Amino acid sequence: MSTGRDPGLQPERTRLAWRRTLLTVTVVTALAVRLASTGDPTGALIAGGTILVWGALLVLCWPRGTGTGPARTGGRTLPLVTVGTVVLALLGVLLVLRGLG
């Protein structure tokens, strides 16, 4: 399998795709923390939760975006990253609904 370099650079492209994804997660986290920062305890709690999710996604995505040689594929990382994204979305819904209350 590891017979030299893939001329299509597929492992490298996949690593860069993971890095882009992590970057997008970071931007979304920053937006959520900004929306949560109104100085009340509920906002602080949701901001803390968002940062925890960001940390978990960082730990998940980082190893997939670094290294050389053949990239790992598949595994449990993909569904777990999906769960992180859904949790970010639900925390966002909480933030929006909090503004109505």
Which residues sit at the interface with another protein, rule CB under 8 A? 1, 6, 8, 10-11, 13-14, 17-18, 20-21, 24-25, 27-28, 31-32, 34-35, 70-71, 73-76, 78-82, 85-86, 88-90, 92-93, 95-97, 99-100
Nearer to another protein, 41 or 94 (CB): 94
Q: How far is the CB of 99 from another protein (least distance, A)?
A: 7
Q: Which long-range contacts (CB under 8 A, 24 or more apart) does 83-88 make?
A: 84/25, 84/53, 84/56, 84/57, 84/60, 85/25, 87/53, 88/25, 88/28, 88/29, 88/32, 88/50, 88/53
Contact 80, 60 (CB under 8 A): yes
Q: How far is the CB of 31 from another protein (least distance, A)?
A: 4
Q: How far is the CB of 41 from another protein (least distance, A)?
A: 19
